[in-house]
Amino acid sequence: MKFVDEFREPELISKAAEEIRHLAGTERHYCMMEVCGGHTHAIYRFGLKDILPENIELIHGPGCPVCVLPMGRIDDGLSIAQDENVIFAAFGDMMRVPGTLGSPLEHKARGMDVRIVYSPSDALKLARLNPEKHVMFFAIGFETTAPSTALTLMRAKAEGIRNFSVFCNHVTIIPAIRAILDSPDMRLDAFIGPGHVSTVIGCRPYEWIAKNAGKPIVISGFEPLDILQSVVMLLHQLKKGEAKVENQYKRVVPWEGNPAALRAMNEVFELRPYFEWRGLGFISQSALRLRDSYAQWDAEQRFSVPGIRVTDPKAAQCGEVLKGVLKPHQCKLFGRECTPERPVGALMVSSEGSCAAYFNYEHRKAMVTGLTSIA
Amino acid sequence: MPSDPPIRFRDPQIEMAHGAGGKASRRLVEGLFAPLLFGNNPGPLGDAALVDIGGTKIALTTDSFVVKPLTFPGGSIGELAVNGTVNDLAVSGAKADALVVTFVLEAGLPTSVLEAEVRAMARAAKEAGVRVAGGDTKVVEHGKADQMYITTTGVGHLLRGVALDPSSVRPGDKVLLSGPIGDHGITILLARGELDFQADLRSDTRSVFPLVEALVRAAGPGVRWMRDPTRGGAATSLNELARDCGLGVVLFEEKIPVRDAVRGACELLGLDPLHIANEGQFLAVIAPEYADAAINALALAPGGSEAQVIGEIREQPAGSVLITTLYGGSRIIDMLVGDPLPRIC
């Protein structure tokens, strides 16, 4: 398969692993955060932890949009869809995410009209096909998915489609990284930067991380070789004492991003003054809402939204895990009260969440093979 | 009088996941159905039950088909309804002899649609050499069923020279797969028309009996376990094997045959081919000394040329399935949790 197989070539991968071992040496410990949930998933799926030396520690970042969504937002969205004239449309990612009274799938089993869509434009298609119903698209994601929501809203407006709205939970990645860097217990040396988000925003928005925070960052692809190459590039910078933004994922990510996508986002969205992130708390200017010119398509303005707030159980230490202070299995709830089938905390919710990935791959592997040391 | 065995199923309501063939399905069957219906010691829950009738052991199985859409590239519900049951018997080491069939029809179903499916059943039954011996029909109100549901119940006689039992599985045994995985599940996903991409892909639905027969003839005494990995995919069947035999199943990722179209769709949707449903493949555990004979026999049988040894049984990780990647990494493969849902964001 083109663009996939050449980045999974075993020989190239062992070469990269060898170079990493050579560069990393043994004197010091390196702590790198992969920001994006897609990277977390790939690292576990391909068993990359097994081939990295022990002194390279990968910390799983906040880049899983499902994980960082507060439960109250799910409750709010589902409460709108209690109206039998409303169709609740969302990506498959959202379907098993628990609200206080169950996930969208559980609501569907109880009779709610819940549909899985593969893009926001599919939700708009549903609205066209069901003129007697109202279709609410429950939008999630970083800058990766926000442009397609924006374009869909522009089309709805142009076509004058009234029975469609968006419950907007789009968030932006930079403020989340800033929140992590600002936290007093931060102990990161470098970042593996998000690949998909950067196809839209480009590389410039990360420059402050290098300049002001003094941390190297490499925008990375998602294949095993991409991730290992990014680690190599970070090690080169760290060894030279440099801190700059580099782009490993040049085949997909242009330095300037995608201006057309950014224009669409700017036409439709504005920054919220603040937004709650599950596990990280309130972060200012970290999320998007619809501009007033799109108020007719804004589910939060068209419907009465209860504004439910659900705090995670105190014992869940999602924030500490997100910041890399604790490893997933060091949380008190991990693997006992909190499992992928019955998640309590944010990071257990999606397979890209660091706790779920850790549970599915490392934890079970450690349990069944009786290994005691798990990095 | 002995009291009822304990009910461990505690889920408050039935969800789609309870029918998806993965963990939730197993919880329901083991926690509610088995203790109340099958007695205290149901043994491993295989694809068919072995029933002793007057000193003769027969294999008995039943399966319901609720596929949507009714027809898809490579097959249709009627054909699935016959082959699904024929296959459940085949991987239990039995040749299907007769089926009975129940139709649940939705009022308003065009006769032409029903006729096409009945014809498909007749064709599949003829090809598989199985008699349809009877049936039942129910009609429900419009809107109470999705066009039609079909249930088939089959009986078969056990093939000579093979004794399947997960407890006979030993470390060193080979895990064999009859051909590429994921074709059926991905074909259905695409046939639903919700995804704006196409692939040149057909369901793998077929009777696997001819392949099973060839395997048993060539390697019968070495065949220890078989299963057709339908809902829940190969990952779920192999996890059941690992649990039932108490040993580790170790797979070699590069050996698992997956067509490019399936791999591509799985990459795009964030799915694992090992969790995708199949309708025309089977998995087998073979004693190592019979492995070559098994692969050779399958290679010569029609439709068996892509059969592969994809892994082996080891002491560790006991009760689990581990997959090793080409470059020395490894991960645990769990049963399917819930339905396989595409990941977008």
Q: Is the pLDDT of residue B1 over 80?
A: no
Average pLDDT, chain B: 90
B150 and B181 belong to one structural domain: no
B313 and B180 belong to one structural domain: yes
Determine whether the interchain pair B332/A66 forms a contact, defined as Cβ–Cβ distance below 8 Å. no
Is residue B342 a contact partner of residue A92, using CB atoms and an 8 Å limit?
yes
- In the beta sheet, which residues pair with residue B312? B174, B250
Closest chain A residue to B197, measured at CA: A118
Fold (topology level) of A71-170+272-302? Rossmann fold (3.40.50)
How many angstroms from the chain centroid is the CA of residue A340? 17
Closest chain B residue to A149, measured at CA: B345
DSSP letter, residue B289: G
Residues in A closer than 8 angstroms to B329, CB to CB, are 46-51
Strands B283-286 and B223-227: antiparallel
Residues in A closer than 8 angstroms to B325, CB to CB, are 46-47
Closest chain B residue to A17, measured at CA: B327
**pLDDT attached to residue B45:** 67
Give the whole-angstrom CA distance, residue A99 versus residue A112. 14
Q: Label residue B43 by pLDDT band (50, 70, 90).
A: low
Per this entry, what is the length of chain A? 375
As separate numbers, helices (DSSP H) first and strands (DSSP E) second, chain A gives 16, 13
**pLDDT attached to residue B342:** 65
Domain membership of residue B142 (yes or no) is yes
**Range in B34-48, B169-183, B266-280 with the lowest mean pLDDT:** B34-48
Residue that terminates a domain, selected from B158, B184, B218: B158
Domain membership of residue B260 (yes or no) is yes
Chain A contact present for B268, CB below 8 A: no
Give the whole-angstrom CA distance, residue A284 versus residue A269. 16
The two three-digit tokens of residue A86, written as one number:
């409303």
Residues in A closer than 8 angstroms to B261, CB to CB, are none
Q: What CATH number is given to the structural domain containing B185?
A: 3.90.650.10
Instruction: For chain A, give every domain's residue range.
Output: 5-65+173-247, 71-170+272-302, 318-366
Minimum distance, in Å, between the CA of residue A337 and any CA atom of chain B:
16
Closest chain B residue to A64, measured at CA: B345
Q: What percent of chain B has pLDDT over 90?
A: 67
Q: Domain count for chain B, please give it.
A: 2
**pLDDT attached to residue A274:** 94
**pLDDT attached to residue B341:** 66
**pLDDT attached to residue A373:** 34
Minimum distance, in Å, between the CA of residue A12 and any CA atom of chain B:
10
Q: Is the pLDDT of residue B245 over 70?
A: yes
CA torsion A190→A194→A199→A201, rounded to 10°? -70
B134 and B172 belong to one structural domain: no
pLDDT, tens digit (0-9, with 9 covering 90-100), for B72-100: 999 999 999 999 999 999 999 999 999 99
Task: Report which of residues B329 and A218 the model is more confident about.
Answer: A218
For A62, the enclosing helix (H) or strand (E) is strand A56-63
Minimum distance, in Å, between the CA of residue A340 and any CA atom of chain B:
9
Residues in A closer than 8 angstroms to B327, CB to CB, are 10, 13-14, 17, 46-47, 51, 224
Is residue A139 a contact partner of residue B344, using CB atoms and an 8 Å limit?
no
Minimum distance, in Å, between the CA of residue A181 and any CA atom of chain B:
24
Domain membership of residue B28 (yes or no) is no
Residues in A closer than 8 angstroms to B19, CB to CB, are none
Residues in B closer than 8 angstroms to A145, CB to CB, are 344-345
Nearest to B16 among A49, A109, A340 (CB): A109
Sheet holding A134-139, edge to edge: A114-116, A86-90, A134-139, A164-168
Residue that terminates a domain, selected from B158, B179, B208: B158
Q: Which parts of chain A register pLDDT below 50? A: 370-375
B198 and B59 belong to one structural domain: no
Q: How many CB pairs under 8 A join A and B?
A: 118
Supply the ipTM of this predicted assembly.
0.74
Residues in A closer than 8 angstroms to B17, CB to CB, are 105
B202 and B279 belong to one structural domain: yes
pLDDT, tens digit (0-9, with 9 covering 90-100), for B276-324: 999 999 999 999 999 999 999 999 999 999 999 999 999 988 899 999 9
B102 and B124 belong to one structural domain: yes
Minimum distance, in Å, between the CA of residue A240 and any CA atom of chain B:
29
Which among B196, B243, B260, B345 is the top mutation candidate for probing chain A, defined by the most A β-carbons within 10 Å of its own β-carbon? B345
Closest chain A residue to B261, measured at CA: A1
Residues in B closer than 8 angstroms to A170, CB to CB, are none
Alpha-helical (H) ranges within chain B are 23-28, 77-90, 111-128, 183-191, 209-219, 233-245, 260-269, 291-300
Q: What CATH number is given to the structural domain containing B95?
A: 3.30.1330.10
Matching CATH number, A5-65+173-247, of 1.10.10.10, 3.40.50.11750, 2.40.160.20, 3.40.50.1110:
3.40.50.11750
Q: What is the pTM of this model?
A: 0.83
E-assigned strand segments in A143-230: 164-168, 190-193, 217-219
Q: Is the pLDDT of residue B117 over 60?
A: yes
Q: Domain residues for B188?
A: 166-333
Chain A contact present for B200, CB below 8 A: no
Closest chain B residue to A111, measured at CA: B15
Task: Mark A325-334 as b/e (b = at least 16 C-beta within 10 Å).
Answer: bbbbeebebb
Is residue A177 a contact partner of residue A35, using CB atoms and an 8 Å limit?
yes
Domain membership of residue B4 (yes or no) is no
Cα atoms found within 13 Å of the Cα of residue B34, Cβ hemisphere only:
18
Domain membership of residue B38 (yes or no) is no
Determine whether the interchain pair B13/A106 forms a contact, defined as Cβ–Cβ distance below 8 Å. yes
Residues in B closer than 8 angstroms to A13, CB to CB, are 326-327
B51 and B188 belong to one structural domain: no
B153 and B208 belong to one structural domain: no
Q: Is the pLDDT of residue B3 over 80?
A: no
Q: What percent of chain B has pLDDT over 70?
A: 94
- The full DSSP string for B264-279 is HHHHHHT--GGGS--S
Residue that terminates a domain, selected from B123, B158, B193: B158
Domain membership of residue B24 (yes or no) is no
B201 and B241 belong to one structural domain: yes
Determine whether the interchain pair A91/B14 forms a contact, defined as Cβ–Cβ distance below 8 Å. no
